[in-house]
Amino acid sequence: MLTVTDLAKRHRRARRPLFSALDFSVAAGEIVALVGESGVGKSTLLNCIAGLETADSGSIAIGPQALDIVRLDESARAALRARSIGFVFQAFHVLPTLTVAQNIGVPLLLCGIPTSEHPARTQALLDGVGLAGFGPRWPASLSGGELQRVAIARALVHRPALILADEPTGNLDPRTADEVLALLLERVREQQTSALVVTHSQHVAQCCDRTLTLTPDGLR
Amino acid sequence: MSARCRQTLSWWLIRAQFRSRRAATLLSMLAIALGVALGYAIHLINDAALADFARAMKSVQGDPDAVIAARDSAGSVPLATLNEIARDPAVLVVAAVIETRVRIDNARTPVTLIGLDLFSAAAVMPKLLPRQDPQAATGNILAGGIYASPALLGQLGLRAGATLTLVRGAQQWRTTIAGDLPAARPDELLLVADIAWVQEHFGPADAVSEGRVRLAPDTDLESWRSGLAQRLPAGLLVRAAEDDSARVSNLSRAYRVNLNVLALVALLTGAFLVFATQLTAVAQRSTQFALLGVLGLSPRMRLLQVLLEGLAIGAPGAMLGLALGYALAVAFTHVLGGDLGGGYFSGSAPLIVPALVPALVFLALGCLASLAGACYPAYLNRMQPLAQALKTGFAQGPAAGETARSRLPLLPLLLAPAAFALTQLPPLRELPIGGYAAIALVLVVGIASAPLLTQLVFGWLSERPLPAPQRIALQNVAQAPLMAQVAASGLIVSFALTASMVIMVSSFRVAVDHWLDHVLPAPLYLRSKATPLPQELLAALQQPDAPFARIERMANEALTIDPQRPKVALLVRELERRNPAARLPFTGPLLEPPADMPVVWISEPMAEIYRLAPGQTLQLPLLGRTVEVFIGGVWRDYARQFGAIAISRDDYLQLGGDFQPTDLALWPLPGKETAADAWLAPWSTRYGLEVADSAAIRQLSLSIFDKSFAVTYALEAAAMLIGLFGLAVTLAASVWLRARELATLGALGFDRRMLSRAVMLEGALIAVVGLLIGLACGVAIGAILTHVVNPQAFHWRMSLDIPWTAVLAGALLTLAAAVVASHYAARQATRLPVAQVLASAQ
Amino acid sequence: MRRRSFLCAPLLLPTLTPAAETRAAIAYPPAVPGVELAFPRDHGAHPEFRTEWWYVTGALDSPQADIGFQLTFFRSRPGTAEALQSPLAARQILFAHAALTVPGDRLRHAERAARANLGAGFSETDIDVHIGGWRMFREDRGSGEVLRLQMQSAQFSYDFTLTPSQALLLQGEGGYSRKGHAPQLASYYVSWPQLQVAGALVLDGKRQAASGRAWFDHEWSTAILDGDAVGWDWVGINLDDGGALMAFRMRDAHGATLFAHAAWRDADGRLRQFAAGEIGFTPVRNWSSPHSGASYPVEIEIRLGELTLRTAPVLDDQELSTLRPAPVVYWEGLVHVEGGLRGRGYLEMTGYADPLQL
């Protein structure tokens, strides 16, 4: 579902490449943890995979059609993200001006799924993340854990091929973090979706199928 | 992404935006509404006034194919000429008309009396046909009955059968009201009688005022008219309906365009407010837009969404503006009349009738203004780096910012000479297009120089030893001056326009004041409105017992030089050929006329409209023929925008004119001022004459002047308010953007008052920058208005006179308002709970 | 008598009927017998009389047979504005009326009105009267005298020259023509039959040469209508043999004859006048107007002593309605005359739609 081949990226004005010759892949239904020290380029790698930054060389094939996001233009990247990638962020990034149900509905709108299907799919996801009845509520009234559950529902609602999660539990207390992580992994496995989870937490990494460690010298 | 989904998402976001930024959105909407409303109101009022004027003319003049009239208001069309034209087989009918002004039973205000011929009037002027009152035991129209419009009957409180005396100068006619004019307009004050009876009592002998021609249907109007024009004697002209409408439209054209430009300014300020709102909206929601972008919203949609949000402000705003404009138009016409106090159309409030197409045009203008305002914010939003924006929020500008900043100072340097060059252009189609363009450029120069000054002021201040919070705030502004610039430019535009208008109006008022000194030399003035003064009075004034040291008589007439232009006033005055400067305020040299040629002195507007200069000779259609006259000089005239010609009484008499004075200037004997008033009183009662001292005339003139600028003041006040709104909105937004920083300061121990003070200081400094540039631009624009726009549009020349006290007071007032506005912004900022801000920002 | 003497009714647009009459004060001269008419002086206007008209009716043979035409100028002295000095004073009002009958088609007509001196005028010494571009005048040419008719309207225009072939016909007693049993009911009446028509006719925008024969009447009077009269029937016929016939009768409300008179000048110039008792008008066929509902005896049997004639209209619908100076509906058109005398001319019938008002 995700195949990264010979990927290299250097920072602007930086002489040394941030990383180079990265090769790895995430199989369908596989959950891979990406760990590494701060500043080693985890977020940049994630941004490159999401098409938010452009790698200097190499390729990143995503989804069943294995489209190479490095070679797509900006609009096509946006379209690919809308269709094939779900995002979970450390800072939740739930839109405060939309209701919970609307937040979850956004990816459905972005990938053009007929609006008649939205209520049922949104409802199913809300039930799935344990937020039944939260649909009409405003994000401001939700706790951090609840917000991240909304984000998980939003990441999965359009059945993407790949989930990119950036420190999904970083802003949560340990107990809530465990619950949310368990929920995320459970839902991802249930949907047979691949996932790449960037994390500092050993615990989170252990819960994943496989762990990749990014070091200045490359992947381990 | 399907269209349906796209619409749903857009709609969600627009709704969310309105919900979360209610005040700013509403203000922007109001600003657009205001601009549209003012423009639309001016359009409606003027349209209605013109239509009303045309209708009034049509109802009195009918709808003839051509009108044969004298060029000279004292002239007339000889009966023989008219009868000859009537025999032309192409002529269906010539409706002869004698039109004059009479006073009813010595009432002060004269009324129009139209003498018509029933046999021909029906074909051309059906609205003037009288209706016999069956109750009135009087003869019909041919037997000498008179017919009054319903409005006049109501005003006089008379009905058919009543007897009244019509007076014009020494001539009188005692007659009976035989009926009314059923088709007269509701506000028309009009008398109609048979043409022979009118001629019998008021003249002109063997002539009529006008012949209104209806041609046979298959006649080629244009060639018939031009053929006739060549055969007509020099004193006559043939006028077509197109000439009439052109003349009516010329009457108020410059004034109208001027008002529309002001409305455009209001609309532009509205666009600016949309810009400020949308820019801050984009800044505040940069994280949200970045998230949507990450989730897969295409870059095109990120651009479109901001434009759509602008439109969502503009469209309802423009609709509201249309409604408001309609209401304003109705209200204004009732208070000020159809010319907004401009004095071009007299009569009562015209009926406002909105039409679809202009409404749509103004709707589109409102939407366009909001779209224009949303353009740059939309572009900024499109260019936001997603990953960075998602993490750290709004990025001030694309990477190009640095080079742009270095290029900006060059822009004013390049544009300033261009603006100056534009002011040197001649008027285009008699409109000061170059002047208007120069004003726009001056504003651009002002706005473009704002970044430079902001950077200078804030940069300099931030290096001063200031308390920490202030210094930090200032430094931040100096380094990321976009918001400060936006706030400042709003003030620049609004203050520049307001100041310039104040400067122009003040210069004009001073000039009018000086001019009044010169044209009102006598202590007392007496005039009969449009009818000649009674001979009896003139004779009595010559008697030794009359308490006057000096009397000057004058007569006012009007000449048609170009049928498409309003008439030119002809002032016959007791002037000395060699020394007219004693009575006329000349602007240039006085030339010695050739001994054998009559001399005239033309007004400034006359010289400019007809492109005449002293020393030239002029073919004047005077006294039924063409007279060659010498132009001896040009004098200043603010009273007659369409031109005036002064001629001495001696020259006029020598040309064969009949000098019938309508106005007198009187110098009472020293110490006999009260006696003079008492001496005049019975005359003024008996003949309905108007007596006024020069102080009263001066006061009246100045109050008319002030009234005619009432709308201008209203517009400027609106611009000023919008500028302040803009300042408040942008300041609030810039504070919001720095919420984290302020919160950090709060966490470090600065209390709210200190933070609030820092924000207010920042607001005040931005306002100072805006006001300084605004003042400079205002003086420049004031000079353009005074020296370019006024002479080109209205043919009024004057010198620049800057009312520093008023301008500086205005600036201080604005500064105070700006501080209050930034206080509001500061309160918003300091209300944010420190902990939440810090937590949410990670 | 004849023709629309209702024009001397107080002139005025329908909305302007005066409540009080001012014309009572005016003394109009009556028509009296024994006045010797002199020409061309008496061709001109007689403005002191209340009513006067110059009336031409005729029939064309080309561009099409039996086209009827008519042009009339009326002068009226309503008695208003008599004291005014102004040249525009409405002391003399002129009306003009023109009509054209095209067989198988329809009747067209046009009219004009004006006060004298304002787009209109008349001569007091010869035939010359005009309203705007409409004009009827006499011209002395080297070859003799002619009458000229000029009129223009949207539907039709013509410019005809009428050349006399016979002398004037002074009706009644040397031009003094009685209209009733009372001696003051009379007019001065001069006819000029058998005029040769040549000129141009513009019909529906097409200009064509025209020729035919016409009849001229000039009549001035102060009072002609008996109090019981509601209308009259009148004919003026150019006979095929070169003779001329004029006949009229005044009717009361029951259709009975109040007064009648006729004059026949044969081809040799012998004049025979018929007294009221010798004259009979008998309707033969009536035509009902779809416009006004009035029923007109368009075919009339006229008995003149031992002679019996019959009228046959070239077109049934020659009904006219005019609004100026007052709304009047009447029938006036070209007819053939057969029987004891044969010819073509105009038949006028008034007072069938509404009684004529004086």
Domain check: are B480 and B536 in the same one?
no
For residue A2, the cross-strand partners are: A26, A62
The residue of B5, B11, B13, B837 whose CB has the most chain A CBs within 10 angstroms, and thus the best one to mutate to test that interface, is B5
Q: How far out from the chain centre does Cα B143 lie? A: 48
- Closest Cβ–Cβ partner in C11, C17, C87 for B206: C87
Q: How many domains does chain B have?
A: 4
Residue at B821: amino acid letter: A
Of B310, B305, B240, whose CA–CA distance to B69 is shortest? B240
Q: Is residue B248 part of a domain?
A: no
Domain check: are C316 and C263 in the same one?
yes
Domain check: are B83 and B48 in the same one?
no
Q: Is residue B400 part of a domain?
A: no
Contact criterion met (CB below 8 Å) for B33 and B317:
yes
Q: Whose structure tokens read 């998402």? A: B9
Contact criterion met (CB below 8 Å) for B141 and B175:
no
Q: For residue range B128-138, what is the model confidence (pLDDT) as tens digits?
A: 889 888 876 67
Q: What is the pLDDT of residue B473?
A: 65
Residue of chain B with shortest Cα separation from C204: B218
Task: State mean pLDDT over B459-485.
Answer: 70
Contact criterion met (CB below 8 Å) for A82 and A51:
no
Mean pLDDT of chain C: 87
B519, pLDDT greater than 50: yes
Domain of C236 in residue numbering reads as 225-358
Tell me the percentage of chain B whose pLDDT exceeds 70.
87
B821 vs B396, residue with greater confidence: B821
3-state secondary structure B183-250: CCCCCCCEEEEEHHHHHHHHCCCCEECEEEEEECCCCCHHHHHHHHHHHCCCCEEEECHHHHHHHHHH
Q: For residue range B827-838, what is the model confidence (pLDDT) as tens digits?
A: 766 665 555 555
Of B224, B228, B194, B198, whose CA–CA distance to B84 is shortest? B228
Residues 6+ apart with CB under 8 A from B108: B529, B688, B690
Whether A113 sits inside 8 A of B287 (CB atoms) is no
Domain check: are B213 and B322 in the same one?
no
DSSP state of C131: E
Interface check for B23 against chain C (CB to CB < 8 A): the answer is no
Q: Is residue B405 part of a domain?
A: no
Mean pLDDT of chain B: 81
Domain check: are C109 and C188 in the same one?
yes
d(CA B19, CA B29): 14
For residue B165, the cross-strand partners are: B174
Q: Whose structure tokens read 């070679």? A: A71
- Minimal CA separation from C15 to chain B, in Å: 6
Between the ranges B73-82, B705-714, C64-73, where is the mean pLDDT highest?
A: C64-73
Q: What is the pLDDT of residue C248?
A: 93
Domain check: are C217 and C230 in the same one?
no
Residues 6+ apart with CB under 8 A from A65: none
Whether B387 sits inside 8 A of A115 (CB atoms) is no
Domain check: are C259 and C173 in the same one?
no
Structure tokens belonging to residue A109: 């709108």
The residue of C22, C86, C206 whose CB has the most chain B CBs within 10 angstroms, and thus the best one to mutate to test that interface, is C86
Structure tokens belonging to residue B125: 């002027």
Structure tokens belonging to residue B396: 């001030």
Please report which helix (H) or strand (E) contains residue B680, including its range: helix B673-687
Contact criterion met (CB below 8 Å) for A158 and B295:
no
d(CA C139, CA C121): 17
Residues 6+ apart with CB under 8 A from B840: none
Q: How confident is the model at residue B253 (pLDDT cuts 50, 70, 90)?
A: low
Q: For residue range B211-221, what is the model confidence (pLDDT) as tens digits?
A: 999 888 888 88
Residues of B in contact with A106 (CB under 8 A): 9, 292, 295
Burial category of C253 from C-beta neighbours within 10 Å (exposed 0-12, middle 13-18, buried 19 and up): exposed
Domain check: are C355 and C257 in the same one?
yes
Structure tokens belonging to residue A22: 């990265």
Q: For residue range B369-397, what is the model confidence (pLDDT) as tens digits?
A: 888 888 888 888 888 788 777 776 666 54
Q: How confident is the model at residue B842 (pLDDT cuts 50, 70, 90)?
A: very low
Neighbours of B3 (CB within 10 A): 8
Q: Is residue C104 part of a domain?
A: yes
Q: Whose structure tokens read 């020296």? A: B787
Of B490, B494, B263, whose CA–CA distance to B362 is shortest? B263
Structure tokens belonging to residue B273: 């407010």
Q: How confident is the model at residue B1 (pLDDT cuts 50, 70, 90)?
A: low
CATH at C214 = 2.40.370.10
Q: What is the pLDDT of residue B469?
A: 63
d(CA C44, CA C33): 19
- Minimal CA separation from A74 to chain B, in Å: 7
- Give the least confident one: B46-50, B420-424, C308-312: B46-50
Residues 6+ apart with CB under 8 A from C314: C66, C68, C101, C103, C333, C334, C335, C336
Whether A75 sits inside 8 A of B2 (CB atoms) is no
Domain check: are B43 and B77 in the same one?
no
Domain check: are B742 and B761 in the same one?
yes
Expressed in angstroms, the distance from the first to the final Cα of chain C is 14
Q: Is residue C14 part of a domain?
A: no
Task: State mean pLDDT over C169-173.
Answer: 92
Residues 6+ apart with CB under 8 A from B417: none
Domain of A47 in residue numbering reads as 2-219
d(CA B167, CA B102): 5
- Minimal CA separation from B286 to chain A, in Å: 11
Task: State mean pLDDT over C88-108.
Answer: 91
d(CA C195, CA C238): 9
Structure tokens belonging to residue C75: 């002068």
- Closest Cβ–Cβ partner in B93, B142, B195 for C78: B142
Q: For residue range B718-776, what is the model confidence (pLDDT) as tens digits?
A: 777 777 777 777 777 776 666 666 677 677 777 777 777 777 877 888 888 888 999 99
Q: Is residue B146 part of a domain?
A: yes
Q: What is the pLDDT of residue B400?
A: 37
What SS3 state is found at B12?
Answer: helix
Contact criterion met (CB below 8 Å) for C333 and C318:
yes
Q: What is the pLDDT of residue B338?
A: 54
- Give the least confident one: B139-148, B528-537, C46-55, C84-93: B528-537
- Minimal CA separation from C187 to chain B, in Å: 27
pTM, rounded to two decimals: 0.68
CATH at A22 = 3.40.50.300
Q: Is residue B429 part of a domain?
A: yes
Q: Is residue C11 part of a domain?
A: no
Whether B132 sits inside 8 A of C80 (CB atoms) is no
Q: What is the pLDDT of residue A7?
A: 87
Task: State mean pLDDT over B403-427.
Answer: 73
d(CA B737, CA B759): 13
Domain check: are C213 and C260 in the same one?
no
In chain C, DSSP finds a helix count (H) and a strand count (E) of: 0, 23
Q: What is the pLDDT of residue B706?
A: 78
Whether B296 sits inside 8 A of A52 (CB atoms) is no
Characterize the bridge pairing of strands C93-101 and C107-115.
Answer: antiparallel
d(CA B626, CA B236): 10
Whether B288 sits inside 8 A of A52 (CB atoms) is no
Q: Of C187, C202, C221, at which residue does a domain stop?
A: C221
Q: How far out from the chain centre does Cα B776 lie? A: 25
Domain check: are B337 and B383 in the same one?
yes
Q: How confident is the model at residue C129 (pLDDT cuts 50, 70, 90)?
A: very high
Residue of chain B with shortest Cα separation from C130: B87
d(CA B84, CA B128): 25
Domain check: are C242 and C177 in the same one?
no
Domain check: are C192 and C332 in the same one?
no
d(CA B352, CA B337): 11
Q: What is the pLDDT of residue C171?
A: 93
For residue C58, the cross-strand partners are: C69, C214
Q: Is residue C335 part of a domain?
A: yes
Task: Quickly list H helices, chain A.
Answer: 42-50, 74-84, 100-110, 118-128, 144-156, 174-190, 202-207
Q: Is residue B653 part of a domain?
A: yes
Q: What is the pLDDT of residue B65?
A: 86
Q: How confident is the model at residue C3 (pLDDT cuts 50, 70, 90)?
A: very low
Structure tokens belonging to residue C324: 């100026």
**C63 prior amide bond cis, ω within 30:** yes
Q: Is residue B199 part of a domain?
A: yes
Q: For chain A, what is the largest distance between any 2 Cα atoms, rounded to a whole number of angstroms?
A: 53
Q: For residue range B542-575, what is the model confidence (pLDDT) as tens digits?
A: 888 888 888 888 888 888 888 888 888 898 988 8
B257, pLDDT greater than 80: no
Q: What is the pLDDT of residue C14?
A: 34
Of B646, B652, B662, B642, whose CA–CA distance to B561 is shortest? B642
Q: How many domains does chain A have?
A: 1
Domain check: are C192 and C286 in the same one?
no
Contact criterion met (CB below 8 Å) for C206 and C223:
no
Q: Is residue B249 part of a domain?
A: no
Domain check: are C209 and C239 in the same one?
no
Domain check: are C236 and C216 in the same one?
no
Contact criterion met (CB below 8 Å) for B98 and C132:
no
Contact criterion met (CB below 8 Å) for C75 and C92:
yes
Q: For residue range B292-320, what is the model confidence (pLDDT) as tens digits?
A: 888 888 888 888 888 998 898 889 999 99
Q: How far out from the chain centre does Cα C249 lie? A: 14
* pLDDT beneath 70, residues of chain A: 12-15
Domain check: are B15 and B156 in the same one?
no
Residues 6+ apart with CB under 8 A from B256: B42, B46
d(CA B232, CA B229): 5
Q: What is the ipTM of this complex?
A: 0.90
Q: Of C221, C243, C276, at which residue does a domain stop?
A: C221
Strand ranges across the sheet with A85-88: A85-88, A162-166, A194-198, A31-36, A210-215, A218-219
Domain check: are B420 and B295 in the same one?
no
DSSP state of C86: -
Domain of B80 in residue numbering reads as 66-239
Between the ranges B345-359, B398-412, B777-791, C316-330, where is the mean pLDDT highest?
A: B777-791
Whether A106 sits inside 8 A of B295 (CB atoms) is yes
Q: What is the pLDDT of residue B780?
A: 92
B250, pLDDT greater than 80: no
Q: How far out from the chain centre does Cα C37 lie? A: 20
Residue B714 φ/ψ region, left for φ over 0, alpha for ψ in the -120 to 50 degree band, beta for the rest? alpha
Domain check: are B123 and B180 in the same one?
yes
C201, pLDDT greater than 90: yes
Determine the Cα angle at C128 with ends C126 and C134, to 5°. Answer: 170
Tell me the percentage of chain B whose pLDDT exceeds 90.
12
Q: For residue range C297-349, what is the model confidence (pLDDT) as tens digits?
A: 999 999 999 999 999 999 999 998 876 556 788 999 999 999 989 999 999 99
Residues 6+ apart with CB under 8 A from B517: none
d(CA B38, CA B185): 29
Q: What is the pLDDT of residue C72?
A: 94
B754 vs C234, residue with greater confidence: C234
d(CA B501, CA B785): 8
Whether A97 sits inside 8 A of B19 (CB atoms) is yes
Whether B298 sits inside 8 A of A91 (CB atoms) is no
Expressed in angstroms, the distance from the first to the final Cα of chain B is 33
Q: How many domains does chain C have?
A: 2
C65, pLDDT greater than 70: yes
Q: What is the pLDDT of residue B251?
A: 65
Q: Is residue C168 part of a domain?
A: yes
Structure tokens belonging to residue B432: 């000061």
